[in-house]
Amino acid sequence: MVSIYDFTAQSLSGDEVPLRRFEGQVLLIVNTASACGFTPQYRGLEALQREYGPRGFSVLGFPCNQFGHQEPGSAKDIAEFCSREYDVSFPMFAKIDVNGGSAHPLYAHLKREKTGLLGSSIKWNFTKFLIDRAGRVVGRFAPTDRPEGLKKQIEALL
């Protein structure tokens, strides 16, 4: 059975990161953007990271420019924005596609495991996938679902 630990992704700094590095943690995987109406959710995502990180939780951010071209910057631009505006401490990865033929394999897997209200495609930035400690996708949340509203589900997995 395939789990998210079978995938790798490139970090913002260009290093290949095996997701097995996060094995045993509860994860919240999010496609992000710096110029979106939902961008202030970085604040809530960082609050979750700081509150639950010591208990084996991590947010993983995947910038994506497929929705309204709201993530046009370079990896350096994204890293600087996240640090300057939201003091992001959770891992951020290189910009990826989440839909279509060039979708990152991780996102193809996530969408197969948990479809959304309108099908498997990601509809917008800040769609969230909750992963249990065994690497299984156990929840999918819409961009309108605020990070603070996921505490009960995260705590149940910790």
The set of catalytic residues is: 36
Amino acid (1-letter code) at residue 23: E
Beta bridge partners of 139: 130
Under 8 Å CB-to-CB from 154, ≥6 apart: which residues? 26, 28, 48, 52, 57, 130
Q: How far apart are CA 32 and CA 61, in angstroms?
A: 6
CB contact at 8 A, 157 and 135: no
State both tokens at 139: 């929840």
Closest to 143 measured CA to CA, from 60, 39, 72: 39
State both tokens at 114: 């948990």
